[in-house]
A and B are shown apart, each in its own frame.
Chain A
Amino acid sequence: GNSVTQMEGPVTLSEEAFLTINCTYTATGYPSLFWYVQYPGEGLQLLLKATKADDKGSNKGFEATYRKETTSFHLEKGSVQVSDSAVYFCALRRGNQFYFGTGTSLTVIP
């Protein structure tokens, strides 16, 4: 079946630290991969996406590369800010349906 596994949180970092949130997936065929972000009290917003192997999605300083050989789509940012505090969801889309990970809570402290 199709599923997404992402690292458990919560993650707490100091401002300007390097961020990695791991995400691996199981899917038939070649899914599209996404990272969504959810700020407190809000719905999910698309952060970035990649639609085929070796694609790199990027937005707002965040990056993730679609690695077919390791079935991974890890989220990275070189220098986090307090405003990046949120819950991050990795997701895949296969057959017109989305499958989400359980979310990773990130808190960035000044």
Chain B
Amino acid sequence: KAGVTQTPRYLIKTRGQQVTLSCSPISGHRSVSWYQQTPGQGLQFLFEYFSETQRNKGNFPGRFSGRQFSNSRSEMNVSTLELGDSALYLCASSPDPNQETQYFGPGTRLLVL
């Protein structure tokens, strides 16, 4: 069974631009969560989607948004990029939100110049 895939793996953007990251969960998994990983803060929860609905949202500004499609694939969007948005963005999937084990993708590394 293929694992969680994320595209692109690397991105370079400039301040003020917007970016869209994509995540394809493991086949059959319907819950997708997004995290931001930075050296100083560790992993911080962004949001969780299940059946195309956002179930939980972390403490991030409205510039961060996401969505989930009917095939469970998910995208997250960051608008008006800031230098501090440079991070590794990780996606994790599980069969449903009640499952305790999440399976992580390799992440998308975003650099904002």
Contact = CB atoms under 8 A, between A and B. Distances in A.
Contacts, number: 50
Contacts of B40: 102
Contacts of B42: 89, 100-103
B56 interface: yes
A46 interface: yes
A102 B105 CA distance: 18
B45 A99 contact: yes
Contacts of A97: 45, 48, 56
Interface residues of B, number: 24
A100 B102 CA distance: 13
Interface in A69-97: 89, 91, 93, 96-97
B104 interface: yes
Interface string A1-38: 00000000000000000000000000000001010100
A49 B101 CA distance: 9
Interface of A: 32, 34, 36, 41-46, 49, 51, 89, 91, 93, 96-103
Q: Which 3 A-B pairs have the closest CB atoms?
A: A102-B42, A43-B104, A100-B43
Interface of B: 4, 33, 35, 40-45, 48, 55-56, 90, 92, 97-98, 100-107
